[in-house]
Structure 1
Amino acid sequence: MAMRFMFDNSPVPINQIPSIEEIAWHPVEPRLKLQIFVRNLLHLLWFIPAFLLATSVWLYMDSIEPVGGFQGWTFLFQSSLAIGLLVLTPLLPFRWFVVPIFEVPKRKYAVRLEDLNYQRGLFTTTVSSAPFNRIQHASTQQYFLERMFNLASLEVYTAAGQAVQITGLDPKIARNLRDHVLAQVSQFKQHGESEENLASSDEERDGDLE
């Protein structure tokens, strides 16, 4: 009779769990900061016309003679616009042009025997892991700004529908990572199919013996 697999769920001591600091992290390319600066500068070009339009509306409403309840709506609109401008004017440049200087060096990736990991975040650190046996597809992307700065992105999709996107990679490294991930995924699938076939054979053999 074939031997059955014995499920073992013994506790693991906390001090024996590998620390995340022990992972060999690799930083993304520093020129990703320049790409982000240019992208945000293009976003700023859309913000300037909106700012000019809001200012024109402000001046127009301030120049017309208020009639009845229209004066209250004028004050409410101008107050909301003033608060919005006071908040966005210093906040957007800080978010778009200062934060990336310190945030991009925090973006790191790591490849282990059984998974792909990505770490990012300045104020809050987020670590995403994609086990090879759960990955469905992996691809590289290189959009216009990425081509301009000779960068590429790696996108990995898992069976749960989640995606891990690593930006700021050298194109050659991105392609090598993609090929490695796909090779590992294929190997895990073949191993899983072999185990399923072996289990089916054991069940058929047990049925014949009974």
Structure 2
Amino acid sequence: MDSAVQFQNEPVDPAALPDFSEVELHSVEAAFRTYQMLSNLLWGLLIGVGVSLAFWLFWGFRAMEWGQWLGLIILIGLQFHAVLDPRYRGWALRDHDLIAREGVIWRGTVVLPIARIQHVETASGPLERLFGLMRLQCYSAGGMTADVVVHGLKPETALRIRSHLLQHIGDAPRG
């Protein structure tokens, strides 16, 4: 090691850091709310039937009514969540990163540097395709799951962002 090279690790003033929360985020498409409501309705019905059957199997036919009430409460909760969810989702693509925000109860924001992205996918299930929606999934090194998933995009928007990211990660120097 060269003795002339001095290692430095100066502290960073948190007040001097750029504030990602000031970035104006794009909202999900309007159809996302309807998609979420139908998706949650299907899941809620499945869970409701499962809860009712579990009550019937473990506590008998009379307890099945309690299971139905519990299933209905779960279904209403899921629908309430579906109505609120789109207003807490957003995304932004900047020169050097992709920002995604989500969460009604547990809120989170992910800022993924474009230089860290190794793989980009677009995906849509049958219900998403029915509503003309697609999601964008970005992966960084070593991850088994996507680091950022942006839900509720129009297919043309998702494909355009994917193309942009792929072009930039192909040009990015790897260290």
Instruction: Give the TM-score taking structure 2 as reference length.
Output: 0.81
SS for the counterpart of 2:60 is: helix
Q: Choose the corresponding residue for 1:120, options 99, 102, 112.
A: 102
Q: Does 1:58 align with 2:60?
A: yes
Counterpart for residue 11 of structure 1 = 11
Q: Does 1:142 align with 2:124?
A: yes
Name the count of aligned residue pairs.
Answer: 168
Counterpart for residue 184 of structure 1 = 168
**Offset at residue 120 of structure 1 (A):** 0.6
Is the contact made by 1:111 and 1:117 (CA closer than 8 Å) also made in structure 2? Answer: yes
Q: Does 1:106 align with 2:88?
A: yes
Is the contact made by 2:91 and 2:101 (CA closer than 8 Å) also made in structure 1? Answer: yes
SS for the counterpart of 1:165 is: strand
**Offset at residue 155 of structure 1 (A):** 0.8
The amino acid that maps onto 2:163 is D
Structure 1: distance between partners of 2:139 and 2:87: 24
Structure 2: distance between partners of 1:37 and 1:113: 34
Structure 1 unaligned regions, length at least 5: 63-77, 197-210
Structure 2 unaligned regions, length at least 5: none
Counterpart for residue 31 of structure 2 = 31
Identity %: 27
Residue by residue, what CA displacement relative to the aligned partner does 1:118-170 show, whole Å, maximum 9, x if unpaired?
Answer: 11112232011222222111011121111110000101111030412111001
Q: Choose the corresponding residue for 1:151, options 127, 133, 141.
A: 133
Counterpart for residue 89 of structure 1 = 72
- Where is the helix percentage greater, Structure 1 or Structure 2? 1
Instruction: Give the TM-score taking structure 1 as reference length.
Output: 0.69
**Offset at residue 174 of structure 1 (A):** 0.3
Q: Does 1:173 align with 2:175?
A: no
The amino acid that maps onto 1:185 is I
**Offset at residue 53 of structure 1 (A):** 7.3
**Offset at residue 48 of structure 1 (A):** 5.2
| Structural RMSD (CA) | 2.7
Counterpart for residue 20 of structure 1 = 20
